[in-house]
Amino acid sequence: MFEKLNSEILEGLRKLSILDTHTHLTCGKLGARGLHDILLYHMVIADLYTAGCPNGARLTEFPGYPSEKEAHTRLKEAIPYLKNIRNTSCFWGVRTILKDLYNWTEEIDSSNWKDLDNRIRERANDRSWHREIAKRAGIQRFTTELARREGGVDDDMFQYSMEWAFFTRTQRSEFDSALYELERCWGHEPGSPIPHSAGHRPKIDRMIKTLDDVKAAMAHYITKLVTSPVLSMATHISSDISFRQVSDTEMVKALKKRANAGVEERDIYASYIHEAFLKALEPYADRIVFQFSLAAEPLPFNTASIVPQKALTSLAEIVARHPRIKFHCFEASRHANQSICSMCRGLPNLSVAAYWWHNFFPGAICQILEERLDMLAANCQVGFFSDAYCIEWSYAKAEIIKRQMAQVLAKKVAMGQYSQDEALAIARDILYGTAQYLLKMEA
């Protein structure tokens, strides 16, 4: 009985149109450029690194692209470890892509991976194929980074978010990241963010030395944000920073200590700049949503799901201080979900989005979705974003989420909480309607 109900709901979900509210897709180059874009997606790299693969680093990142030599070297290195990750849900995503989109069901090994790589490369520039993948996934529209707009070549299916400076994200062994993130944007056009734990800093034109410099750099940043064709901005709020309201006097003293800054100065810089940014954003809060990720803290090659309860208290205070701003949270901690849902119930300007990074695993998806359905209004939760770097991964993540959603909804129908029609109507709300309501995504 339950399996029949689950199958019927899954079939209904596959007929729904959905909106992908957060990606890293590059317009004009939506599809995988080779097997590496599918098999060496950063979440699969983490699986492989855990399995013993010696390299846990990401491949060359946008605005660059891996050369064929780099891609092939990393594939050869990874393939011996595939047998150890065939149990993971990330590898389920790989198999889903290869089977559904590239008609490949063989085990990948040293004798056949080049054939598969060639099969994918043959369609890398086939723009009609990429749109067919979106159609098969039921994804009607996407949001990606403004820096990946590529002249608007795919404006008919994309909207944009500014993901540029991360004032409130920590980097390993750095204590002035907030200042550097602001000054590297000062005087420039919007670009891409610096990767987590980059290990080096691109050169800057101007260095922030005074409080007036902070204010001038922030004014430039806000001007570029509010005059750009974006519906949101995306950043990260580190759970390691102790946020508080910082006075001008404290900030001036901390700036003088920059050369020898420590944790205390790091927290002062981040708190001051973050509060200045939010105050400057308030007049534009009706059209620009503040999207932020939470609970992925840096390791040498990756991040870990870490969020102390004190960080959630600080977050609640920030959201409460700025009631006009719409805060939209991507959380990477399963245990934090219940706390964040309870915060949403008391803070109408806080909402949640799908299943980010360390939460994108079936068990976490089911638990988080069930809690949110019970605790939050439908228009306070977005049910899908892929965070994908190629459209094949948007397809795979949509399929994985639909399967988990079907299980959760079938369970609620079976216990009498919803009718089957109500379950699908609720699914449509969180997969489509909420993105229109909160983010103003177009149909």
**pLDDT tens-digit readout, 34-60:** 999 999 999 999 999 999 999 999 999
Does residue 93 belong to any structural domain of this protein?
yes
Does residue 2 belong to any structural domain of this protein?
no
Same domain, 38 and 148: no
For range 345-358, the mean pLDDT = 97
Does residue 5 belong to any structural domain of this protein?
no
Is the predicted pLDDT of residue 301 greater than 90, yes or no? no
Same domain, 373 and 231: yes
Same domain, 276 and 352: yes
**Residue 417: count of CB within 10 angstroms of its CB:** 13
Is the predicted pLDDT of residue 147 greater than 60, yes or no? yes
Counting Cα atoms < 13 Å in the Cβ hemisphere of 170 gives: 26
Helix axes 211-226, 263-281, angle to 10 degrees: 40
Same domain, 41 and 94: yes
Residue labelled with tokens 């989005």: 353
Token code pair at residue 404: 């988990």
Same domain, 74 and 196: no
Does residue 396 belong to any structural domain of this protein?
yes
Q: Kindly indicate the confidence band of residue 298, based on its pLDDT and cuts at 50, 70 and 90.
A: confident
Does residue 89 belong to any structural domain of this protein?
yes
170-174, 246-250, 327-331: which range is least confident on average?
Answer: 170-174
Residue 334's domain comprises 130-439
Same domain, 272 and 337: yes
Quick check: 31 and 136 in contact, CB under 8 A? no
**Average pLDDT along the chain:** 97
Extended strands (E) in 206-334: 232-237, 289-294, 296-298, 303-305, 327-331
Residue labelled with tokens 């399963």: 334
Instruction: Give the contacts of 373 (CB within 8 A, at least 6 positions apart).
Output: 408, 412, 426
For range 97-107, the mean pLDDT = 99
Counted domains in the chain = 2
**Which CATH number belongs to the domain containing residue 321 in this structure?**
3.20.20.140
Of the candidates 336, 165, 181, 162, the residue with the CA atom closest to the CA atom of residue 266? 181
Is the predicted pLDDT of residue 173 greater than 70, yes or no? yes
Token code pair at residue 5: 């109900």
* Dist. CA 290–CA 326, nearest whole Å: 6
**Residue 89: count of CB within 10 angstroms of its CB:** 16
Of the candidates 62, 60, 67, 41, the residue with the CA atom closest to the CA atom of residue 144? 62
Same domain, 154 and 202: yes
Instruction: Give the contacts of 266 (CB within 8 A, at least 6 positions apart).
Output: 170, 174, 175, 176, 177, 178, 241
| Exposure b/e, 192-201, CB count within 10 A at least 16 = b | ebbebbeeee
Quick check: 221 and 182 in contact, CB under 8 A? yes
Is the predicted pLDDT of residue 199 greater than 70, yes or no? no
pLDDT given for residue 443 in this prediction = 74
Q: Kindly indicate the confidence band of residue 195, based on its pLDDT and cuts at 50, 70 and 90.
A: confident
Which burial class, exposed, middle or buried, applies to 269 when counting CB atoms under 10 A from its CB (0-12, 13-18, 19+)?
buried
Is the predicted pLDDT of residue 380 greater than 80, yes or no? yes
Same domain, 116 and 210: no
Helix axes 336-346, 309-321, angle to 10 degrees: 20
Q: Kindly indicate the confidence band of residue 134, based on its pLDDT and cuts at 50, 70 and 90.
A: very high
Same domain, 150 and 109: no
The β-bridge partners of 145 are: 161
Same domain, 78 and 148: no
Does residue 335 belong to any structural domain of this protein?
yes
Same domain, 103 and 134: no
Is the predicted pLDDT of residue 116 greater than 80, yes or no? yes
pLDDT given for residue 206 in this prediction = 95
Does residue 345 belong to any structural domain of this protein?
yes
Q: Is 364 left (phi over 0), alpha (psi -120 to 50) or beta?
A: alpha
Among candidate residues 85, 105, 122, the one where a domain is terminated? 122
pLDDT given for residue 197 in this prediction = 62
Among candidate residues 73, 94, 122, the one where a domain is terminated? 122
* Dist. CA 342–CA 440, nearest whole Å: 25
Does residue 3 belong to any structural domain of this protein?
no
Same domain, 109 and 233: no
Rounded percentage of the chain residues whose pLDDT exceeds 90: 95
pLDDT given for residue 198 in this prediction = 55
Instruction: Give the contacts of 414 (CB within 8 A, at least 6 positions apart).
Output: 1, 2, 5
Token code pair at residue 6: 């689950």
Of the candidates 17, 28, 230, the residue with the CA atom closest to the CA atom of residue 140? 17
Tally of residues, the chain: 443
Among candidate residues 95, 122, 149, the one where a domain is terminated? 122
